[in-house]
Amino acid sequence: MKRRVIIVGSFFLLALFFIMFRLADIQLIHTESFTEKGVNLVQESVNQRTQEVVIDDGRGRFEDRNGHSLRNHAEPTLVLFPFLKEITWPVEDLSEIVDVSSEKLKRLIENTKEPLVLSSEDGVKLSSSDLEKINHLSIPGVFGIYRQSPIEQSIGEHLIGITGENAEVLREKYPDRQDLSYKTQIGITGLEETFDEFLLPDAETKLLYHVDGDGNPLFGVNVKYIADSNPFYPITIKTTIDKDIQEMAEDVLSDQKVDNGGLVLLDIETNEVLAMVSKPDLDRSNNKTLTNYMVQPLFPGSVFKTVISAAAIEYGLDDATREFNCNLNLYGENDGGQDDGMLTLARSFAKSCNYTFTTLAEELMEKDPNVIEDTAEKLGLLGPVAWSGKIFHYQNFKQLPEEKIGSIWGDEKDKNVLRAIDQTAIGQKDVKVTPLGVANMMATIARGGHKQQVKIVENILYKNGTNMFSFTSKSLEGEKISSYTAAKLQKLHRLVVTDPEGTGRRFQNSPLEVSGKSGTAQTGKKNDKGQMLYNKWFAGYFPSKNPKYALVVVEMDTTSAEAGTNAVFYDIVDKLAEMKGK
């Protein structure tokens, strides 16, 4: 019996010591960094006794090349605190300004325990002068403010990216930022993730007041306005995106029912991204939709014949009088599937004759086994092509770190296998390149062979508008094609459109002269009807003379008959001509 008492007593003593230690841990030791999440218990206890309206969470912003916001906007907003139901206040005067009946305002306040925030979504449309009038009334608990709100229709979601809460990742990435709440939003994808360290909030701007356990004012009806006085933060990331063009591009893809694929539009002179759209649309509940396919390697099909053509020109295999038997398939066999007769290199490019390019590839490989990948590099195709360089303590900062590198050969032994060479020559086998890389190749050709890094961000700006950092344009390292080769390629790409039987003849009626190359790549997949699925491309630039834009459109995993690639390219050219007055 005595032994049992000792055992039970010891158990209770241990339990008591554990509880006491736990209380000490909570109240004395880890009051400001409780659990792995780093919960600030002092702050949380204060939060339980306050009600607040966050006007601005303090995270940095994104804007387009013209200074238009891409993610948030400052919206005129009416804020009503619930203690108004306990006091007498001139509700009729407020009703007259906001054009909402006094009875409705009273009813809204009566039915809420939290601060009430009313904006245009709630039918309360206010102007800047309305806000002045509201605040001039000096009613306790009534405020007219500009509140940062998400733009109703987000654009460039794959490019800009998304944010979310993850306390463990936050503490791991920023161990020195103990001032950050475990609820702080951090970048998960896109530019939000890339520039996350710059975008982290310094402090929130908010309205708050203290309440008791029943939600009644604890220290009277005084509402505090807490604002960040730092003139430098939050910062703004100024992108190269043109908001109007980005919206137009997204609309065109939707109108043409391209639900799997996307496009990249570059300014040829600066090599900056004006628009980038990836499909399917981003859905937070589906991780597969988070991928930006415009920076992922895809089978290019006949678009890759541009590389073989460039190599042929550089190695002197572009005899204008030489003809190729385009009744033969890519392996030089007469299987009855082709009926194009004898064609020159130029017309073979326009009509996309496979046999011409497999023949040239075989001849080129005899001269130099590395010729295909070397030429692809000269054209700025393989990547990475997005801006990278030194910025502050980053030695190799990448604007698009999710960009993957393209590939030509899956196995070096394939360089000695004719059938592998033939399939590679037409952009199949193991050839995969990114749409961004293809757009950069087209811009390189249009510029006469000068290859540059692709920019998506121009500047990092302080809150007061001064410059923190500028991303200057940079050339891509390595060899490049000659100006002679570029000029010959320009003629080939123009012939694709002007030839009566060219694969791009649809663009003969475009409002701007188009030069480009089509591509159809087998993916090895089938749909539920057993039909083969393809990647359908059209890549080019316009106007053909004094080119301004390089555009790549790709639809992935589509049947050839259903592809909307050419229709999207045509509409983009048409609408850009209209927007820019031709």
Residue 518: active-site member: no
In 461-564, which ranges are continuous DSSP H helix?
Answer: 483-498
Tokens of 355: 């046999």
Choosing from 102, 120, 128, 302, the catalytic residue is 302
How many angstroms separate the Cα of 255 from the Cα of each of 258, 325, 567? 8, 40, 10
Q: What angle do CA 381, 445, 372 make, to 5 degrees?
A: 45
Q: What angle do CA 524, 416, 421 make, to 5 degrees?
A: 40
263 Cβ partners below 8 Å, 6+ apart? 249, 253, 275, 276, 277, 294, 435, 551, 552, 553, 554, 568, 572
Note if the bond before 280 is cis, omega within 30 degrees: yes
Candidates 264, 266, 259; CA nearest to 282 is: 259
524 Cβ partners below 8 Å, 6+ apart? none
How many angstroms separate the Cα of 413 from the Cα of each of 307, 402, 405, 410? 21, 29, 21, 9
Please, is 15 exposed, middle or buried when counting C-beta atoms within 10 Å of its C-beta (0-12, 13-18, 19+)? exposed
Element (H, E) at 344: strand 342-344
Cα 497 from Cα 505, distance rounded (Å): 4
Cα 537 from Cα 435, distance rounded (Å): 9
Cα 409 from Cα 417, distance rounded (Å): 12
Neighbours of 397 (CB within 10 A): 17
Candidates 259, 302, 282; CA nearest to 557 is: 259
CA torsion sign, 253 to 258 to 260 to 265? negative
209 near 82, Cβ under 8 Å? no
461 Cβ partners below 8 Å, 6+ apart? 235, 236, 237, 238, 467, 468
427 Cβ partners below 8 Å, 6+ apart? 299, 300, 301, 302, 303, 304, 305, 519, 521
Phi/psi at 14 (nearest 5 deg)? Answer: -65, -40
Checking DSSP bridges between strand 394-398 and strand 163-165, what pairing results, if any?
A: unpaired
Cα 462 from Cα 110, distance rounded (Å): 42
CA torsion sign, 331 to 333 to 338 to 343? positive
Candidates 448, 541, 444; CA nearest to 487 is: 448
Cα 371 from Cα 415, distance rounded (Å): 11
Element (H, E) at 153: none
Query: Catalytic positions, please?
Result: 302
